[in-house]
Amino acid sequence: MRSVIIGAAMIGATALLILAGSAKAADNTTSRCIDVSVPKGAIAARNGKWIELTPEQWQFLRGIYAMNPETPAGLPYGDKAVLAQVEGNTGGLIFFIDGDKACTPMPVPHELLAMMHDVATATINHESGGL
């Protein structure tokens, strides 16, 4: 579990460095968004995957983001989300997409990816052993 969190944090740190460098280059340090080609290119350069998520997954992740003490207060920007994954890391990084901008990256551990899959496939798990 610890290695999953560390791996997700490393992806997040890399993305944040990319985002910070781009924000400085644009002289707009208050923005949480950059051109989507920047992180997408960084993931592609590492032979990673850029996966568009379903509307249901996006809504689910908005709730996770809003309740996450490590993300800014409120809901993330955008109207869809993507999952960025690189080889050797079981977790990933969520970007909330607002038009042609990638916004508010959020690291996700492997366990959350499994829940996202359940949301995408409308899998419902009931507690066993009923009444």
Q: Which residues pair with 96 in a beta bridge?
A: 81, 103
Tens-place pLDDT, residues 72-118: 999 999 999 999 999 999 999 999 999 999 999 999 999 999 999 99
pLDDT in tens, 28-51: 434 789 999 999 999 999 999 999
Angle, CA 41 vertex, CA 39 and CA 47 arms, to 5°: 110
